[in-house]
Amino acid sequence: MTQFLQQIVNGLSIGSIYALIALGYTMVYGIIKLINFAHGDIYMVGAFVGFICISTFKMSVLSAILCAMVFCALLGVAVERLAYKPLRNPTKAGLFATALVMGFILIYLVAKATLELDNLWAGVIALVLSLALGFFVYFTITPKGNPNRIAALITAIGVSFFLEYAMMAIMGPNNRSYPATLGGTATLAGVQITFAQILIFIITLALMLILTFIVQKTKIGRAMRAVSTDADAAALMGVNVDRTISITFAIGSSLAGAAGVLVGIYYNTLNPLMGMTYGLKAFIAAVFGGIGIIPGAMLGGFAIGITETMVAGYWSSLFKDAIVYIILIVILILKPSGLLGKNVREKV
């Protein structure tokens, strides 16, 4: 019995981590219907920002979390503006910016590696060429919206690779450990609970409530719901669609940043590829609970955490992922829009 209770605690604690990442995932999906594969990597960036804050700048855990949240919010907006918006709703200026920034990175790296230049010269060459590319784009391409959502998905995958390997180039590929801890352990009727587990659980719960409040009760939340239902109609009603989407990205990404620091401290480990697994799991959690629905993300996270723990604890961890996927597929087949999702009737 103690073992069972301990496994429930284990499951809830890993589940609240999935839920924490899934919250941001589900918000972004809810508003632009994009599987944002880069979300897991923004979580990874958050973990690294927190790591640098604590180890290099000797900040406290709380201020490190705040720093990571701000940085990730900015990063999320930048990614949205440079990579997703040009596909969704391109403008000449937007395309210019994308061509400039992406072109600069590309040409800088290629020039530096192949011509063996130093930073300055490679930078100058890249700047000149990418400016040329930017103006070429600005004057020749007529912006056209593109309804192809799979192209946006591939872009998200590109962003994900970019964040992972840019971080690997900056920080090195090795696992690092957090120079901070979150309190001790308490034993309750033979069941061990750490302070960190309680903290993460409470933070997840609180964030879920705050987000639900924002989405349901505030003006910006109303705008989000409007854009999510019908972006064109929302625009006609005076909602600034682009700004609403950017705010959604900022909120979702800052949640991922906070999750990164918390999880980094909790498990005491971080590496540039850590976002992939957690991102995927969190996405599954979001689908499980009903994607786009905030309490659903939380429910899905807990469900997956507990399922994994129970399978690993009472059968074999070889099959925990397989069981999670099987349950997910069964739920999708029985209730295609997730546990809390409403089945929308197709209209002809």
Partner 1 sequence: MKRFFLAALAFLTLTLLLTGCKKETASDDKIKIGLNFELSGDVAQYGIAEAEGAELAIEQANASGNFDKEIVAIKYDNAYNAAETSAIITRLATEDKVSGVIGPAVSGMAMAQYQAGNQYGVVMISPSATADAATLDANGNAYDFAFRACFIDSYQGAAAANFVARDMEKLKAVVIYDSGSDYAIGLYNTFSEKFTALGGTIVAAEAYIDSDTDFSAILTKINGEDFDVIYIPGYYNQAGLIIKQARELGIMVPIVGPDGFDSPTLVDLAGASNLNDVYFTTAYSNLSTDPDQAAFIEAYKAKYGKEPNMFAALGYDATNLLLAAIQQAGSSDPAAVQQALLNISGFKGVTGTITFDEYHNPIKPVLMVKLVNGEQAESIEVQP
Partner 2 sequence: MKRWLTLPTLCWCVFAIGLYGLLQLLIEIGVISVVWQITLANIGINVILAVSLNLILGISGQFSLGHAAFMGIGAYAGGIVLKMLPGYTGMLLGALAGLLISALAALVIAVPTLRLRGDYLAIATLGFGEIIRIIINNMKITNGAAGLSNIPAVANLTVIYFTIVLTLIIVCNFKNSAPGRACISIKEDEIASEAMGIPTTRYKVIAFVLGAMLASLAGVLYASSFYVIKPTYFAFAQSINILVIVVFGGMGSMTGSVVAALVLGVINYLLQSLPNERMIVYAVAIILIMVFRPKGLMGNFELSFARLKSLQDIKALPALWKDKILAVLARLKNKRQKEDA
DSSP code of 335?
S
Q: Which two tokens stand for residue 47?
A: 């973990």
283 binds partner 2 (CB under 8 A): yes
268 binds partner 1 (CB under 8 A): yes
With tokens 């109609």, the residue in question is 233
Collapsed DSSP state (helix, strand, coil) of residue 103: helix
Stretch that binds partner 1, among 24-32, 112-120, 144-152, 333-341 (CB under 8 A): 112-120
132 binds partner 2 (CB under 8 A): no
Segment 137-176, which members bind partner 2 (CB under 8 A)? 137, 141-142, 146, 148-152, 154-155, 157-162, 164-166, 168-169
> What are φ and ψ of residue 92, in 5° steps?
-60, -45
Segment 13-32, which members bind partner 1 (CB under 8 A)? 13-14
CB 26 within 8 A of CB 241: no
* Least gap, CB of 287 to partner 1 (angstroms): 19
98 binds partner 2 (CB under 8 A): yes
* Least gap, CB of 61 to partner 2 (angstroms): 31
* Least gap, CB of 190 to partner 1 (angstroms): 11
Collapsed DSSP state (helix, strand, coil) of residue 194: strand
Closer CB to partner 2, residue 120 or residue 318?
Answer: 318
Q: Which two tokens stand for residue 52?
A: 């640098």
Separation between Cα atoms, residue 296 and residue 326, nearest integer Å: 19
190 binds partner 1 (CB under 8 A): no
Q: Count other C-beta atoms under 10 Å from residue 169's C-beta.
A: 11
126 binds partner 2 (CB under 8 A): no
* Least gap, CB of 209 to partner 1 (angstroms): 25
CA distances from 266 to 171, 229, 299 (A): 20, 37, 21
CB 44 within 8 A of CB 257: no
Which residue among 22, 111, 207, 226 contacts partner 1 (CB under 8 A)? Answer: 111
- Beta bridge partners of residue 186, listed in sequence order: 193
Closer CB to partner 2, residue 186 or residue 326?
Answer: 326
Question: DSSP letters of 65-94?
Answer: HHHHHHHHHHHHHHHIIIIIHHHHS--HHH
Q: Which two tokens stand for residue 175?
A: 């696992």
Closer CB to partner 1, residue 2 or residue 240?
Answer: 2
- Beta bridge partners of residue 176, listed in sequence order: 270
Closer CB to partner 1, residue 56 or residue 114?
Answer: 114
Q: Which does 183 bind (CB under 5 to 8 A by kind): partner 1, partner 2, none?
A: none
Closer CB to partner 1, residue 110 or residue 237?
Answer: 110
Task: Spell out a b/e string for 313-341, using b for 16 or more CB atoms within 10 Å of the CB, else e.
Answer: beeeeeebbebbeebbeebeeeeebbbbb
Collapsed DSSP state (helix, strand, coil) of residue 188: strand
DSSP code of 319?
G
Segment 278-337, which members bind partner 1 (CB under 8 A)? 308-310, 312-314, 316-318, 320-321
Segment 244-263, which members bind partner 1 (CB under 8 A)? 263
Chain residues that interact with partner 2, rule: CB under 8 A: 33, 35, 83, 86-87, 90, 95, 98-99, 102-103, 105-106, 109-110, 112-114, 137, 141-142, 146, 148-152, 154-155, 157-162, 164-166, 168-169, 280, 283-284, 287, 291, 318-319, 321-322, 325-326, 328-329, 332-333, 336-337, 346, 348
